[in-house]
Amino acid sequence: MKVAIIGGSGKMGQWFTRHLLEEGMEVVITGRNQPKLLAAGKKLGVPTATNIEAVKKADVVVISVPLDTFETVAKVIAPYVREEQVIVDLTSLKTKPVELMHRYFNKGTILGIHPVFGPGAKSVSNQNIVLTPTNEEEAVLAGRARLYLEEKGANVSIMTPQQHDQIMAVVLGLAHFIAIVSADTLLGFQQFEQMKKIGGTTFKVLYTLVESVISEDPELYADLQMNFPHIKEVEALFLAKTQTWADIVKNDDKQGFAKKMKVLREKLEKTDPAFHNAYENMYRITDKF
Ligand SMILES: NC(=O)c1ccc[n+]([C@@H]2O[C@H](COP(=O)([O-])OP(=O)(O)OC[C@H]3O[C@@H](n4cnc5c(N)ncnc54)[C@H](OP(=O)(O)O)[C@@H]3O)[C@@H](O)[C@H]2O)c1
């Protein structure tokens, strides 16, 4: 099978190229910056092409470009998409790219895919992947993709693009926001190195989160913050909750704090069966320290 990866010179594009080559597929990659594209092609041992050439030759087209260039790419390749082709996108948001694919591609079968992992992942095994079909034809394709991915050990979820984006506003959006604000706060203190040296497991968990977010691409993370639906409401709720807890501390209300924390624990115990593994999970996360 011939696969064209639009944006194959980028981080996720290169990751998927390696994965597809291991699966015995033929891959051609594209990118804007020619020296970068040629270097990626050489490193991966795959041919490079323009977006149009790549789409013309492919059975499957994978769009792996940032959200802000998605429409430009869709417009350019649209006239060359054929009826028998499959076109998938890897964007971390789903509503807008899926809507753009429907708007511009009147041939072929499309499918929105979000690999909920970064280019540091070793394989798809144990990774979460969301598929967002919007009609029967796409649901059939999603069913086939699910079987393939589950065979490789991935955890696959199927939902609408809108559901995906709402959940991701919290799962990614809020988590990134907390990590970024925590980094900004931690750097306001002297003795940062000492903190790392003597910090216990909770600090290690926090710092692992901070490191993993701050080392990522700022453009991508800014794109996500600006585009997740309802992210402003999610972050406003977080700020209001922060204020409530800070007020309890400011008022030296030890009883109130403990009571409220106990209520949180009871709620989590009821809603999350894995809650009791908290310590085990924390040590697993901080193994690398
Ligand atoms: N990184 C992650 O952790 C992650 C995880 C899951 C999903 N995703 C999604 O995967 C997609 C790619 O992310 P990434 O991290 O791989 O970004 P990236 O490293 O910046 O790569 C983006 C690629 O798109 C290319 N590109 C941009 N505009 C193009 C155009 N008009 N024609 C051809 N190629 C074009 C870029 O080429 P130039 O560099 O030459 O401009 C580059 O090769 C994004 O939609 C992102 O939301 C990322």
CA distance 227 to 92: 10
Distances (CA, A) of 46 to 16, 23, 64: 12, 14, 16
Q: Residue 8, Cβ neighbours under 10 Å: how many?
A: 30
Q: How far is the CA of 13 from the centre of ligand 1 (A)?
A: 7
Q: 163-285 architecture in CATH?
A: Orthogonal Bundle (1.10)
Q: How far is the CA of 65 from the centre of ligand 1 (A)?
A: 4
What is the pLDDT tens value at each position of the chain, 289 positions in all? 999 999 999 999 999 999 999 999 999 999 999 999 999 999 999 999 999 999 999 999 999 999 999 999 999 999 999 999 999 999 999 999 999 999 999 999 999 999 999 999 999 999 999 999 999 999 999 999 999 999 999 999 999 999 999 999 999 999 999 999 999 999 998 888 889 899 998 999 999 999 999 999 999 999 999 999 899 999 999 999 999 999 999 999 999 999 999 999 999 989 988 887 776 676 666 665 5
Among 128, 8, 100, smallest CA distance to 60 is for: 8
CA distance 139 to 141: 5
Atom 25, ligand 1: which residue's CA is nearest?
7
Q: How far is the CA of 68 from the centre of ligand 1 (A)?
A: 10
pLDDT of residue 193: 84
pLDDT of residue 284: 67
Domain ranges of the chain: 2-159, 163-285
Q: pTM of the full predicted structure?
A: 0.91
Q: How far is the CA of 97 from the centre of ligand 1 (A)?
A: 13
Q: Residue 133, Cβ neighbours under 10 Å: how many?
A: 22
128 has which bridge partners? 155
Among 59, 83, 48, smallest CA distance to 3 is for: 59
Q: Which of 5, 6, 12, 101 to mutate to test the pocket of ligand 1 (most atoms within 8 A of CB)?
A: 12
* Domain 2-159: homologous superfamily in CATH: NAD(P)-binding Rossmann-like Domain (3.40.50.720)
Residue 10 in contact with residue 67, Cβ under 8 Å?
no
pLDDT of residue 273: 82
Instruction: State the DSSP code for 25.
Output: -
Instruction: State the DSSP code for 28.
Output: E
Residues 6+ apart with CB under 8 A from 84: 59, 108
Q: How far is the CA of 14 from the centre of ligand 1 (A)?
A: 10
Question: What atom of ligand 1 comes closest to residue 223's alpha carbon?
Answer: 47
pLDDT of residue 102: 98
Q: How far apart are the first and last CA of the chain?
A: 43
Residues contacting ligand 1 via CB (< 6 Å): 6-7, 9-13, 30-33, 36, 51, 64-67, 69, 72-73, 90-92, 115, 118-119, 217, 220
Residues 6+ apart with CB under 8 A from 249: 257
Q: How far is the CA of 67 from the centre of ligand 1 (A)?
A: 8
pLDDT of residue 191: 87
